[in-house]
Amino acid sequence: MNRRLPPFLGKKKICIICEGDEEYDYIGKLKSLNVWGGNYDIDPINAEGNGNIPARYQDKYQNGSYEMVLVFCDTDKKPYEQYEDIKRKINEFHGTDNAADYVVIFANPCTMQIILLHWDDVRLVSHKKNHNASTIEEVIGIKGYKAKKSQRKALCEMLNAENYGLMIERAIKLADDDTVLNSSNFTKLAEWFTQEDSCWIEEINEKLG
């Protein structure tokens, strides 16, 4: 059986396996804004593609450096084959039917659905960047968004603690069912990271087996 993550003294070390550049940059920016509790040490890891997520997750879980390992990724479009494959492999790794339910933070159809909520109550219908480009330009003024490094940097510079709070207020309204368009459980992550009591970590690790 997989080794259970060990307890640590001091700050709770948490790894977030990010699907790609957008997720990695976004989590890194939120970390720098200090919008989460000071007793958590968040370490984002760029998986550089959803196909790499299961292996990265297993590696970080088994190396014993973290008390919790989470995943942050898109669902993309139906039938969500790659997303479902990620969940299946995480479940198989832990030998349970629902391990992924506790550790996967998702956005349907894509992470940009969450990011744009910092500025407006947007509902995206596609994960494709060319389809969302006009909406992104309308909301934040970045033209022809293709997730280039300069564009991601410009976007992150517009994020702040105030519009983070607005995002949470809007994201709470989203469904938390990953089969539903415009859904996300990101607020669960935000709730965990602002809790002074870190008992939620042990509770999740117990459920992982």
User: Would residue 76 count as lying in a domain?
Assistant: yes
User: Would residue 5 count as lying in a domain?
Assistant: no
| Calpha distance 15→66 (Å, rounded) | 6
| pLDDT, tens digit, 9 for 90 and up, residues 85-102 | 999 999 999 999 999 999
Question: Band of the pLDDT at 10, cuts 50, 70, 90?
Answer: confident
User: Would residue 7 count as lying in a domain?
Assistant: no
**Domain span at 23:** 12-208
Nearest to 208 by CA among 80, 68, 32: 68
pTM: 0.93
User: Would residue 196 count as lying in a domain?
Assistant: yes
| pLDDT, tens digit, 9 for 90 and up, residues 186-197 | 999 999 999 999
User: Would residue 188 count as lying in a domain?
Assistant: yes
Q: Scanning the structure block, which residue is given the tokens 């949470």?
A: 168
- The burial of 77, by beta-carbon neighbours within 10 Å (0-12 exposed, 13-18 middle, 19 or more buried), is given as middle
User: Would residue 3 count as lying in a domain?
Assistant: no
Q: Is the pLDDT of residue 156 over 80?
A: yes
Question: Band of the pLDDT at 1, cuts 50, 70, 90?
Answer: very low
| pLDDT, tens digit, 9 for 90 and up, residues 157-188 | 999 999 999 999 999 999 999 999 999 999 99
User: Would residue 1 count as lying in a domain?
Assistant: no
User: Would residue 197 count as lying in a domain?
Assistant: yes
Structural domains in the chain (count) = 1
| pLDDT, tens digit, 9 for 90 and up, residues 19-74 | 999 999 999 999 999 999 889 999 999 999 999 999 999 999 999 899 999 999 99
Question: Band of the pLDDT at 6, cuts 50, 70, 90?
Answer: low
Q: How many CA atoms lie within 13 A of 206 on its CB side?
A: 5
Tell me which of 118 and 2 has the higher pLDDT: 118
**Within 14-75, where are the H helices?**
21-32, 53-62
